[in-house]
Amino acid sequence: MNAISGGGAQMSLIDVLFPGFSMASASAQQLLAGNLDSYTRLLCTLGMLVLFTRYAVRYVGELVRSHFTSTIHVSYYDEAYDMLVDWIAHQPFVRNAHSVIARVRSPQRTTIQSQEKKKPLTFSPWDGSFPFWYKGHLLILHCAVKDHREDIYISSIGLYPNILKQLVEECRGNYLNNIDKKITVFEYREGD
């Protein structure tokens, strides 16, 4: 093991790569020898390591999200929301989602389908983050419940949102094909 000297103290290369490793290793050796004082030091070291890791992961995640991803937000009050929810309900990744919402209505909340006897049941991810692949790109669907409504946004790694725009255009095309020759009625419900 190489040692780096500076200012009277020597530091091993392993401590440079993994700060605190030598102290944790020495504590573990003393614990195995039966010295309980080192046990306390080891627990404190492990606690600090867990705490540091927790904040480091959160910081790196925020750094990646803010500087290395593109995001497209879809307003609940816009028809684009219906387009996206309809598309999502028909995707394979919905089957593996750990949290879903069931909707008893037409795929579009503003369309009346008078010829159907039963309203279709649709499922879509709810209140969480859900990764999925789209045209070879890893995208993440984020669904959050705010003020009794769903806030949806999709993010991708990369600074150019072209793949997200392609996805929304595909959702729009599918939606327009689904509502072709149907009557759209807007109704007032719960302040919306």
Mean of the pLDDT values across residues 141-167? Answer: 88
Q: Which residue has the higher pLDDT, 128 or 110?
A: 128
Summarize pLDDT for 51-100 with one digit per residue, the tens. 888 888 888 888 877 788 899 999 888 889 989 988 998 898 888 888 88
Q: Which helix (H) or strand (E) holds 150?
A: strand 149-157
Cα-to-chain-centroid distance, residue 13: 36
pLDDT in tens, 7-24: 545 667 777 777 777 777
Instruction: Give the CA diameter of the chain.
Output: 86
* Predicted pLDDT of residue 72: 92
Higher pLDDT, 165 or 23: 165
Q: What is the pLDDT of residue 107?
A: 46
Would you say residue 126 has pLDDT above 60? yes
Tokens representing 173 are 């095309």
Give the separation between CA 81 and CA 141, rounded to whole angstroms: 13
The full 3-state SS of 42-93, as one line of letters, equals HHHHHHHHHHHHHHHHHHHHHHHHHHCEEEEEECCCCHHHHHHHHHHHCCHH
3-class DSSP assignment, residue 19: coil
Which contacts qualify for 8-14: CB closer than 8 Å, 24 or more apart? none
Residue with tokens 């050796």: 29
Average pLDDT over residues 120-141: 88
What is the per-residue pLDDT for 62? 82
In angstroms and rounded to an integer, the radius of gyration of the C-alpha atoms of the chain is 26
